[in-house]
Structure 1
Amino acid sequence: MKLVKSLLLGSAAGLAAVVSAQAADLPVRKAAPVEYVRVCSTYGAGFFYIPGTETCIRVGGRIRADYLYGEPLTRAEDAVGFRARGRLNVDTRTATAYGLLRAYIRYELTRSSGTPFGLSNTGVGASLSTNLAQAFVQFGGLTAGRVTSFFSNADLPTGHMGTLRFDDAPDVTLLAYTFSFGNGFSATLSLEDGLERRRGIDAFDFDPLGYAGQRVPDVVANVKYTGTWGGAQLSGAIHQLRALDLFTNPVTGFTDYPDTEYGFAIAATAHVNLPMLAPGDALWIAATYTDGAPAYLDGGNAGTIISPFAQYEFGRPTLVDATYDPLTGDLKKTRAWAIAGGFRHYWTPQIRSNLFGSYLHSDSRVSVANSGDFREYRIGANVFWQPVSGLDLGVEVIYANTDLRGVNPVNALGYRDSNGWEGRFRVQRDF
């Protein structure tokens, strides 16, 4: 038995050795390496490396729901409006020998209805809009694409939901270069799309003139300082006014085009951090003067002077870039200025409020037979509760009062002072 057992064990060991030797001669298939997503902490929270590259990416977005009450003027107007907005944005950044290479895109879908949002009061009047809000490339000091205008100071700690009269961070298409001097100082020269800053050219006799083709873009420049205490910026812009239509002198019969004119805008903005009151507290102010470029008073937003409030009792005039005299063909540029400001205070880390207002004064406007002035002031306040990070629940009230002198050419009735107020409730989730 011992002999048999030894033979069996010896045979098994020999067979195992043979099998092992044959297996060693076969090709071995290696497992593919596992590539894990790496966190990129260089540019803040939420960034990670795109696998196989040294580019960091962050995907984010926003969902916003607004419920707006606007005081109606007529029975045909809605008192309430509804809006839902969705936003997706992708931010990619790569460190290079020439500086930061960044590509950013923000896309928005908005569904609105109701007179308070500028729409008709029928179901058909509900609006679904798509908007490529931002799409730009930054390489060192170069910025190309659609981004916040360099006339605006996007660092202002504003917290209002409604409209105030200053250049409230509008997005425009541009080509710009920023010079960084260190210690918080920088300067930017930007060529921006002037088509997005047009407010129209009208005649003293109420016949509207069309804008001719753009020959030069708006030239924008700023000087900026950012420090631990806050920041300040001085901005300037030049805007071309070029009428399309001919005018004919009714006395001489002479026909010609109005001369091309150039308007301008200047603005000074500043904000101060007030941590001695509470962490996050801040005060801001923006002062703007325009001559032939009133769109720089409110970011180029289309609409009426008192939008989103009720119209004037006998009309709805708007600010324009210029009017022209059909007797001479001269363009008279609209001069206007505005000042806006606000204060943000954190009552607790989760509850904050904003108090804000603006005042606008203009020496001329469209659709009135005589020159004169127009004045408007707005004041408002809101409060936000942030129960969890990224979720804001807010309510706001704004009151506006306007003073316009003149006669509506359509019905020959004088404009009356107008005032109105709006109330808004917002639910917003950022991620």
Structure 2
Amino acid sequence: MNIKSLLIGSAAALAAVSGAKAADAIVAAEPEPLEYVRVCDAFGAGFFYIPGTETCLKFGGYVRFQTDFGRDLSGTSDWDSFTRAQFEVDTKTDTELGTLRGFIGFRGNADSGVGGATAGTSGNQGSGVFVDQAFIELGGLKVGKFYNWWDDDLSGETDLLSSNTLFNSVRYSYDTGAFAVGLSVDELEGISFGNDVALGNVDNNVGISGSIAGKIGGATASLIGGYDVDREEGAVRLIATADIGPGTLGLAGVYASGVNSYYALSEWAVAVEYAIKATDRLTITPGAQWLGNVAVKNPADGYSIVNADWSNNDAWTAGLTVDYKITEGLSTKVTANYYDEDNRPDFWTGFVRLQRSF
């Protein structure tokens, strides 16, 4: 009897508690409001605001497949194929001191099956992933690893107008759009490979470079210079372009007092090209260049410079570059170039490229 009363009492108590809870209102958590990505048109196409900030972000890059042709590009093979992936992150913010920018460019080369970047001629890219560029920019001040003005050459693939172009640098530029001037202090270190030239910089040396550029209508001109403090040698280069007829005429001239990190190919050079805009998709660019007193090269490999003296050899090169836009974001480039230097065998170089840009 006592047990029965206890069970009935317990059941009644549970029912009362359950009834009391059932009478309470059920409150559901409100969903967080969605914040859609906003387009940031202040810095051009492709930028959008990072949610919750006033910083604009843009992703870009490309995937490239290329086959190079030339004498002994890979061992005794006269051709070499590689694949490259480039991914870029660009951020910009308006501040009271001007536009604050941060840029990172990652590059991955896949050539041989072995990891790690391989040094060599332009066709031998090795395999590995690395930071191609990374810099901070505020107003006219730019610091980090980025390409020098010497990288801005003619549009075709025939000209040989620079040696090394990528440094850790501190640069200040003033740009009005129609006129620009800048000065850069560059760290010269490691071994640079550009235009099939190897130039050794064992120590961390210093370089100073500058640029003056302007444009009027369809004509542009840029004068740049670089001085290698350790070698006590420098170089200057003038490039001018003008829209003439169905294309753009480009002229360039270079003088170097001696072998240096900015230009190490010859004592002087003159280049010309004419980029013909055949259609909206097709551009055909013939070009030629004369090089006076080319650098002394190691006969064992044919491209590395053995000392700081110019030779008595002259050289000339001529070629043709064809650019074709297959569709939006997909293009191809084909080039073939002939090189002839005094007292050395002449040879052909070129490549076929397919590139998806985004």
TM-score tier by shorter-chain length is 0.7 to 0.9
8 A Cα contact 2:105 2:134, kept in partner: yes
CA distance in 1, matches of 2:144, 2:241: 27
Q: Which amino acid aligns with 1:272?
A: A
Aligned-partner SS, 1:386: strand
Report the alpha carbon displacement of residue 285 of structure 1 after superposing the two structures with TM: 2.2
CA distance in 1, matches of 2:128, 2:271: 29
More strand by share: 2
CA distance in 2, matches of 1:94, 1:135: 17
Quote the residue 1:220 is aligned against. Answer: 209
Aligned-partner SS, 1:297: coil
Spell out the pairing of 1:336-351 with structure 2 (5 A cutoff).
Answer: 336-351=267-282
Report the alpha carbon displacement of residue 390 of structure 1 after superposing the two structures with TM: 1.6
Quote the residue 2:349 is aligned against. Answer: 422
Gaps of 5+ in 2: 1-22, 114-118, 194-199, 299-305
CA distance in 1, matches of 2:31, 2:261: 62
Report the alpha carbon displacement of residue 164 of structure 1 after superposing the two structures with TM: 3.1
Quote the residue 1:235 is aligned against. Answer: 224
8 A Cα contact 2:234 2:262, kept in partner: no
Q: 1:230 to 1:103 in 2, by over 3 A?
A: farther
Quote the residue 1:93 is aligned against. Answer: 92
Aligned-partner SS, 1:292: coil
Q: 1:212 to 1:339 in 2, by over 3 A?
A: same
Aligned-partner SS, 1:131: strand
Q: Which stretch shifts more, 220-229 or 362-371?
A: 362-371
Quote the residue 2:241 is aligned against. Answer: 271
Spell out the pairing of 1:141-220 with structure 2 (5 A cutoff).
Answer: 141-150=140-149, 152=150, 154=152, 156=153, 158-160=155-157, 164-167=159-162, 170-180=165-175, 182=176, 184-195=178-189, 213-214=203-204, 217-220=206-209
Render the CA deviation track for 1:319-367: whole Å, top value 9, x for unaligned: 6xxxxxxxxxxxxxxx711222322122111122111222212276266
Identity of aligned residues (%): 26
CA distance in 1, matches of 2:310, 2:151: 33
CA distance in 2, matches of 1:231, 1:371: 31
Spell out the pairing of 1:9-408 with structure 2 (5 A cutoff).
Answer: 29-71=29-71, 77-112=76-111, 118=120, 127-150=126-149, 152=150, 154=152, 156=153, 158-160=155-157, 164-167=159-162, 170-180=165-175, 182=176, 184-195=178-189, 213-214=203-204, 217-241=206-230, 262-274=232-244, 276-277=245-246, 281-297=247-263, 336-362=267-293, 365=296, 372-404=311-343
Report the alpha carbon displacement of residue 295 of structure 1 after superposing the two structures with TM: 3.8
Q: Which amino acid aligns with 1:159?
A: G
Aligned-partner SS, 1:365: strand
Aligned-partner SS, 1:79: strand
Q: Which amino acid aligns with 1:82?
A: S
Q: 1:97 to 1:381 in 2, by over 3 A?
A: same
8 A Cα contact 1:148 1:170, kept in partner: yes
8 A Cα contact 1:194 1:240, kept in partner: no
Render the CA deviation track for 1:252-291: whole Å, top value 9, x for unaligned: xxxxxxxxx51111111122234x52xxx32222211112
Q: 1:283 to 1:72 in 2, by over 3 A?
A: same
Gaps of 5+ in 1: 1-21, 120-124, 200-209, 242-260, 299-318, 320-334, 405-416
Q: Which amino acid aligns with 2:93?
A: T
Aligned-partner SS, 2:251: strand
Aligned-partner SS, 2:127: strand
Aligned-partner SS, 1:41: coil
Q: Which amino acid aligns with 1:44?
A: G
Render the CA deviation track for 1:135-183: whole Å, top value 9, x for unaligned: 1111001000011113x263x55132xx632027822210011134x36
8 A Cα contact 2:163 2:261, kept in partner: no
CA distance in 1, matches of 2:188, 2:350: 33
Aligned-partner SS, 1:217: strand
8 A Cα contact 2:189 2:201, kept in partner: no
Aligned-partner SS, 2:217: coil
8 A Cα contact 2:72 2:79, kept in partner: no
Report the alpha carbon displacement of residue 371 of structure 1 after superposing the two structures with TM: 7.7
8 A Cα contact 2:133 2:145, kept in partner: yes
CA distance in 2, matches of 1:371, 1:352: 36
8 A Cα contact 1:58 1:92, kept in partner: yes
Report the alpha carbon displacement of residue 97 of structure 1 after superposing the two structures with TM: 1.4
CA distance in 1, matches of 2:238, 2:39: 40
Render the CA deviation track for 1:95-133: whole Å, top value 9, x for unaligned: 11111111111111112359xx957xxxxx983133321
Q: What RMSD, in angstroms, separates the aligned Cα atoms of the two structures?
A: 3.3
Aligned-partner SS, 1:418: coil
Aligned-partner SS, 2:77: coil
CA distance in 2, matches of 1:268, 1:175: 23
CA distance in 2, matches of 1:372, 1:172: 28
Quote the residue 1:205 is aligned against. Answer: none
